[in-house]
Amino acid sequence: MELTVDNVSRAFGGVYAVREVSLTVPAGELRAVIGPNGAGKSTLFALIGGQLAVDSGTVALDGVRVERRPAHRRGIGVVFQSARVFHGMTAFENVMVGAHAVTSAGFLSAALRLPRHHRDERRIREKALACLDRVGIAGWANRPAEELPLGQQRSLQLARALCGEPRLLLLDEPASGLRAAEREHLAELITRLRDEGLTILLVEHDVAFVMRLADRVTVLDLGRVIADGSPAEVRANPKVKTAYLGVRPDEPPVHARGVVE
């Protein structure tokens, strides 16, 4: 699914978090969005996913504008930054929550036990298992989710998102907190999902993690796009080096980010 973000801005308390950002991710591409802490990555993520409203600009999926229509964002799967698994539920039940949201019967008829419920219930169970299998953790299905190692918990979050049958997957810092081997495993999984045809927007703080994964990289700094290109082009860009090497102080002055007039 093609994603087009055009001239999108969003401010908090009169200060821009995301300013005049445009990017196009063609169907099937794995795009990384990188930038230092506070660059606006998570805000952009939420503007695309619909958890936050844009102040101005447009967001389109396959050419259909969605920025004012949350219902049209079906087809987007999200894994939020520092998302947690549901405790007190098995891995399987965690994914069931994702699967329930997309079946035709849904929660209401399930609650009312309408006739179609039983048929759907079996379908959902099969689907949830298939999603766990797709990310390689079917063997953990009946374990309490909180007992899974962190790497498997991340895979579980991916499985939950995949159960919504997304065509665009948004991942906000999925590798954070993972050990080297877990990162490696996650990198392989994300690459495989891209190879299966999913369009993926991967938001990351860790440049090294995405540079070898991404087809193309967009760099944000102070809410603006400062570079966009192949990993090699971005790595060689002096503006990117400046943003990361901290020539300016960690907390830039407000005027650097831009104040809403």
Which residues here bind ligand ADP, judged by CB under 6 A? 12, 17, 35, 37-43
Other Cβ atoms closer than 10 A to 169: 24
Residue 153 binds which one of ligand ADP, Mg ion, none, with CB within 5 to 8 A depending on kind? none
Specify the length of the chain in residues. 261
**Least distance to ligand ADP, CB of residue 43, Å:** 3
**Least distance to Mg ion, CB of residue 74, Å:** 24
**Which residue lies nearer to ligand ADP by CB, 21 or 39?**
39
For 2: left if phi > 0, alpha if psi spans -120 to 50, otherwise beta; the answer is beta
Among residue numbers 64 through 103, which ones bind Mg ion (CB under 5 A)? 81
By the 8 A CB rule, do 24 and 18 touch? no
Residue 43 binds which one of ligand ADP, Mg ion, none, with CB within 5 to 8 A depending on kind? ligand ADP
**Which residue lies nearer to Mg ion by CB, 41 or 183?**
41
**Least distance to ligand ADP, CB of residue 200, Å:** 17
By the 8 A CB rule, do 19 and 223 touch? yes
Nearest-angstrom CA–CA distance, 125 and 110: 14
Instruction: Give me the residues paired with residue 59 across strands.
Output: 5
Distance of CA 224 to CAs 48, 76, 126, Å? 15, 23, 43
Q: Which residue has the tokens 């099969």?
A: 126
**Which residue lies nearer to Mg ion by CB, 12 or 107?**
12
Residue 128 binds which one of Mg ion, ligand ADP, none, with CB within 5 to 8 A depending on kind? none
**Which residue lies nearer to ligand ADP by CB, 47 or 61?**
47
Does 42 engage in binding with Mg ion (CB under 5 A)? yes
Does 9 engage in binding with Mg ion (CB under 5 A)? no
Nearest-angstrom CA–CA distance, 193 and 76: 14
Other Cβ atoms closer than 10 A to 128: 24
**Least distance to ligand ADP, CB of residue 58, Å:** 19
**Which residue lies nearer to Mg ion by CB, 99 or 202?**
202
By the 8 A CB rule, do 8 and 18 touch? yes
**Least distance to ligand ADP, CB of residue 147, Å:** 29
Instruction: Give me the residues paired with residue 30 across strands.
Output: 200
Helix (H, G, I), strand (E, B) or coil at 58: strand
**Which residue number is nearest to Mg ion in terms of Cβ?**
42
SS (H, E, C) 197-226: CCEEEEEECCHHHHHCCCCEEEEEECCEEE
**Which residue lies nearer to ligand ADP by CB, 41 or 154?**
41
**Which residue lies nearer to Mg ion by CB, 42 or 155?**
42
Distance of CA 188 to CAs 31, 136, 141, 145, 203, Å? 15, 11, 21, 22, 16
**Least distance to ligand ADP, CB of residue 228, Å:** 16
- Candidates 36-44, 67-75, 117-125, 221-229: pick the segment binding Mg ion (CB under 5 A): 36-44
Binding site for Mg ion (CB under 5 A): 41-42, 81
